[in-house]
Amino acid sequence: MILINILEPDDVITKECWMRPLRLMTMSGGMSDSMSFKSQYSGVPENNVKWVRVTDQIGPHWIGKTVKQFVKFQLMEFPYEFAIGNIPRSHQLDMKGYSSYRKLHNETNRN
């Protein structure tokens, strides 16, 4: 048995947390039949059904904030679920070919 905890609104996001979207969005704000799986602006994953580390998906600046703060900050209704625990590798998104906000943040802070 694997223990995975789903975070609730008042839970704090840590660097060990994972996230994934609860809804898939077609291109053009839902007005298209096409889907994008990598952001054309940042290269981070989108429309993934597998889990991604929070620091890779939305960046390290969310560490220490609550799930409720993240949801409130979002400009559009695009729900995510957050978890912490031993996510099986088969349920983790392979980040090869994607950008990571953690890596982008680290590179920006070096300069």
Angle of CA points 105, 83, 60, to nearest 5°: 10
Question: Quick check: helix, strand or coil at residue 60?
Answer: helix
Tokens of 92: 């983790």
Phi, psi (5° rounding) for residue 25?
Answer: -120, 125
Tokens of 7: 């975070």
Q: What is the DSSP letter of 19?
A: E
Q: Give me the chain's average pLDDT, please.
A: 85
Q: What is the residue extent of each domain of the chain?
A: 4-110
What pLDDT is recorded for position 111?
54
The string of pLDDT tens digits covering residues 23-61 is 887 776 667 778 878 888 888 888 788 999 999 998 889
